[in-house]
Chains A and B, each alone.
Chain A
């Protein structure tokens, strides 16, 4: 849990962590994804937006190793990788926080954070070390959790989201995928989670944010990738785009053809393709 490692690297050009090229996925006769590209750099929040059925969840599941892709390549730090199952993906350094969080309600915060990779000391759980590290992790994230020994069931929605995000950081990942982290949260809690996302960026992580909420996306993302009907339909820098333009891309009012997208990409990210 080093805050400094990411920052040091960010002094020069941001590292190209993840690069997807020509990803395709079929479910029987349904083409969920066709020729989708996606890039994630260190210290960057990439939002993936799109209407229902645009392929956002499928893309997340491919990255999380839940579904293997049937076409295209996944490059992780320039090396081609196969994400056959969730463990592959996690070992590689891609942490996913699913929408349902998958927390164990009856266990306390510490147990949830370390579930599946508990620290041991002479074969016995090292509760002291885990509790101490939990506190320091939550403090780094400026997370407000009343006590790390309360069962997760007694936490609020935002706090549960915080715990789920903190848990994804335990394995020191390079990329964190957040699936609809602000859905079903109140205004204050949403703000808290958005702050948390910014802190992930400060740590030098690549963050992929899936969201329906354009306001949240525009507030926190650096780049927005629009999917429409399983294809790329635009890749925007947040600084030079309006929500109208994004909505147009989502609904298909503007069609970002391949040529246009390629032109846009070479303009906004010089050197994006050099790693591969």
Chain B
């Protein structure tokens, strides 16, 4: 919610401090938000509305849907696909696509199971091998894309088949390997939940860091004579974050609580959000997605951005594969198959990352995966057949894409591309 108030520092510094117009107060924040929505810059508004709608419908159909127990399940189901979706957000931001994330996640699950269970390697080494394999896959994609200019759609479609084959080869004749549930990886990733006290401490730290950041930023901007957020708005934002996180933790704590895998997913989302919005690399990613030619002329090494994004995407896919294998306590021929691929892509798009590149945020992986997994979870507890689930998820995806196109068009009409 970055307000677009005038912040001309030509106004004397002494005046800035007393002039409320120049600090973005509550009213100007609301006004600029409403203005952006009207011109098609809808952000995460539709996905939040959609999530509320979906939750309401399922709650009416089945009163157990919003129970603490089921929501804990939802977070457990979301962690793996959500982690993969972070990678998809990245490739979508540069205007490309990776259709092979499912296969790559299956491959890393297979590597994990074979090396850890069959070969008995130490877990740390196994994790490194699985993640590096993912990174190598992305490196190959990136090199193919930048060297030969093959569309990423085709490269990754080939990768989808190729790495599925490799996954089957790694698994060998057996085809399915169970990971014993007394091992560290399974216990840590799926049976570890934060105790209520710890979860509140974590939230308190997050809120304090967030508040400190906003305050420090506002102070620096005021000192520099730029428009800064007013204390009220900061208080409201910090309060909002505290209430949302606190309420979510409180509700989840009524049953098992916040799982380690979901916490890892949240940490990854936050880190990627920071990297995308606050580093030169992140700025370059948005620039490449917005206009490659402009980015190239600005001196950005475009090929490096492409390669690094493909590498990150496949690495996130491998990470998702590890989380999924730990949750299933097994790797088999269908790991990463079925709807994993499309769920991850759907999550990124539904979460509000544009298919046209240059628009989106790491948080769309979080919001999107909650929507996708809520649908899948809700339909499952209604005992609906798989075919209904597929059709509904497909319909929601189409809706999200239409919304993306429409908002793009109305941004263009309002001159905000």
- B4 in the interface (beta carbon within 8 A): yes
Interface check A139, CB cutoff 8 A: yes
Any A CB within 8 A of the CB of B358: yes
Instruction: Please determine whether B278 and A104 come into contact, CB atoms closer than 8 angstroms.
Output: no
Among A18-26, A72-80, A119-127, A225-233, the stretch in contact with B: A119-127
Q: How many residues of B contact A (CB 8 A)?
A: 39
Does A270 lie at the interface of the complex (its beta carbon under 8 Å from any beta carbon of B)?
no
- Write the nearest CB–CB distance from A59 to chain B, whole angstroms: 18
Kindly report which residue of chain A lies nearest to residue B354, judged by CB atoms.
A106
Given contacts A104-B291, A118-B280, contact A153 B2 (CB under 8 A): no
User: Least Cβ distance of A266 to chain B in Å?
Assistant: 39
Chain B 191-202 against A: per-residue CB contact (8 Å), 1 yes, 0 no? 000000000000
A147 touching B6 by the CB < 8 A rule? Answer: yes
Asked if residues A153 and B417 are in contact (CB atoms below 8 Å), the reply is yes
- Cα-based distance from A238 to B331 in the complex (angstroms): 79
Interface positions, chain A 195-242, Cβ under 8 Å from B, are none
Q: Are A131 and B7 in contact (CB under 8 A)?
A: yes
A125 B7 Cβ-Cβ under 8 A: no
Q: Mark B283-305, 1 if CB is under 8 A from A, else 0.
A: 11011011101110111100000
B4-A149 in contact (CB<8A): yes
Residues of B within 8 A of A117 (CB): 299
CB atoms of B294 and A102 under 8 A apart:
yes
Contacts of A147 in B (CB 8 A): 4-7
Q: Is B415 an interface residue (CB 8 A)?
A: yes
**Contact partner, B299, options A87, A123, A125, Cβ 8 Å:** A87
Q: Is the interface of B mostly helix, strand, loop or mixed?
A: loop
A275 within 8 A of B: no
Q: How far is the CB of B278 from chain A (nearest CB, A)?
A: 5
On whether the beta carbons of A115 and B415 are closer than 8 Å, the reply is no
For B9, give its contact among A104, A106, A120, A135 (CB under 8 Å): A135
Q: Is B409 an interface residue (CB 8 A)?
A: no
| B10-A139 in contact (CB<8A) | yes
A120 to B280, Cβ gap below 8 A? yes
What is the minimal beta-carbon distance from B139 to any residue of chain A, in angstroms? 24
Contact between chains at A149 and B2 (CB < 8 Å): yes
Residue of A nearest to B287 (CB): A104
Q: Could you say which of B56-64, B101-109, B217-225 contacts chain A? A: B217-225
Q: Are A86 and B283 in contact (CB under 8 A)?
A: no
Interface string of A86-106 (1 = CB under 8 A from B): 110010000000100011111
Q: Does B224 contact A128, Cβ atoms closer than 8 Å?
A: yes
Does A149 contact B7, Cβ atoms closer than 8 Å?
A: yes
The bracket for how many chain A residues form the interface is: 20 to 34
Contacts of B6 in A (CB 8 A): 146-147
Is the C-beta of A252 less than 8 angstroms from some C-beta in chain B? Answer: no
Are B278 and A124 neighbours in the complex by a CB distance under 8 Å? yes
Please give, as numbers and ranges, the residues of chain B lying within 8 Å of A153 by CB-CB distance: 411-412, 415-417
Q: Do A104 and B279 form a contact, CB below 8 Å, given A116-B300, A128-B221, A132-B9?
A: no
B226 within 8 A of A: yes
B327 within 8 A of A: no
Within 8 A of A (CB), among B293-326: 293-295, 297-300
A107: interface (CB < 8 Å): yes
Tell me the complex Cα distance, A103–B300, Å. 13
Cα(A105)–Cα(B221), bound, Å = 25
Q: Is the CB of A118 within 8 A of B293?
A: no
B7 and A104 form a contact (CB under 8 A): no
Within 8 Å CB of B23, what residues of A? none
CB–CB B299/A116 < 8 A? yes
Decide yes or no whether A154 CB sits under 8 A from chain B: yes
Contacts of B290 in A (CB 8 A): 104-107
List A contacts of B4 (CB < 8 A).
147, 149-150
Residues of B within 8 A of A104 (CB): 286-287, 290-291, 294-295, 298, 358
Q: Which residues of B contact A146 (CB under 8 A)?
A: 6
Alpha-carbon separation in the docked complex, A87 to B300 (Å):
10
Q: How far is the CA of A102 from the CA of B299 in the complex (A)?
A: 12
A148 adjacent to chain B (CB < 8 Å): yes
Contact yes or no, B298 A102, CB < 8 A:
yes
When C-beta atoms are compared, the residue in chain A nearest to B300 turns out to be A116
Nearest to B293 among chain A residues (CB) is A102
Could you list 14 examples of A-B contacts with CB < 8 Å? A86-B297, A106-B289, A106-B358, A107-B286, A115-B295, A120-B280, A124-B278, A128-B217, A128-B220, A131-B224, A132-B9, A147-B7, A153-B417, A154-B414
* Chain B residues at the A interface, C-beta cutoff of 8 Å: 2, 4-10, 217, 220-221, 224-226, 278-280, 283-284, 286-287, 289-291, 293-295, 297-300, 358-359, 411-412, 414-417
